[in-house]
Amino acid sequence: MSNNYTVFEDLGIKDYKEVWDYQEKLFSEVVDVKLHNRDQANEQKSITNHLLFVEHPHVYTLGKSGVQNNLLINDQFLKQINATFYKINRGGDITYHGPGQLVGYPILDLEALDLQVKSYIHNLEEAIIQTLADYGIKSERLDGATGVWLDTDVPGKSRKICAIGVKASRYVSMHGFALNVNTDLNYFNHINPCGFVDKGVTSMEKELGRKIDMQEIKDKLVQKLSAIFNLQLN
């Protein structure tokens, strides 16, 4: 008895590891219910999906397929710039999270939503693309790379505005996306973002020349995600 009932939580600004642990807890709960339902045909439990929004203090995370050399600084310099570093269990390479960046962690039963992992990522990208369009920013996908990009057809100008890195097990998702809203882009100078050495990064603030209201962007993005994934948000 799976449904699309989804609890939305805005966690504000929270430590990366603390939220990662919380994700793991919620993820395990969803998987446990799925396993119960598979084994107990006469005693079905409803599954609750989760959507978390958060901003993190400065942190670099390296996906399981990533290369540590894409972090271009040592532990001492990490301390100097007040940042931390974690190797984590999502796909993808290295990325940065920090204040002014909207990070979203959907923990969804993809099976109940009739989604493969590829189409799930496509839908995440679509929600970001539609949200950016509301601000007059034309964005798109880039062949061979996840995330949302600008000017993909202009040599030397391609730049990423939203990174995506997910984990899915038993068709339950975790980790998610990181949209650069008012992000300090200097922190990207210390990595090869997502393993790319020839592409830049940008933010909504940089593209529009003004600070973006974070609550406004959260509200818009929640609406886009709930519509695209057909989620009943609470």
Residue whose structure tokens are 């007059």: 136
Q: DSSP letter string over 194-216?
A: GG-SS-EE--HHHHHTS---HHH
What does the block give as tokens for 164? 């995506």
Distance CA 127, CA 166 (A): 15
Query: 110 with 64: CB under 8 angstroms?
Result: no
Residue 194 appears among annotated catalytic residues: yes
Q: Which of 194, 217, 221, 222 is catalytic?
A: 194
Phi-psi region of 110 (alpha: psi -120 to 50; beta: other; left: phi over 0): alpha
Distance CA 80, CA 77 (A): 5
Active site residues: 194
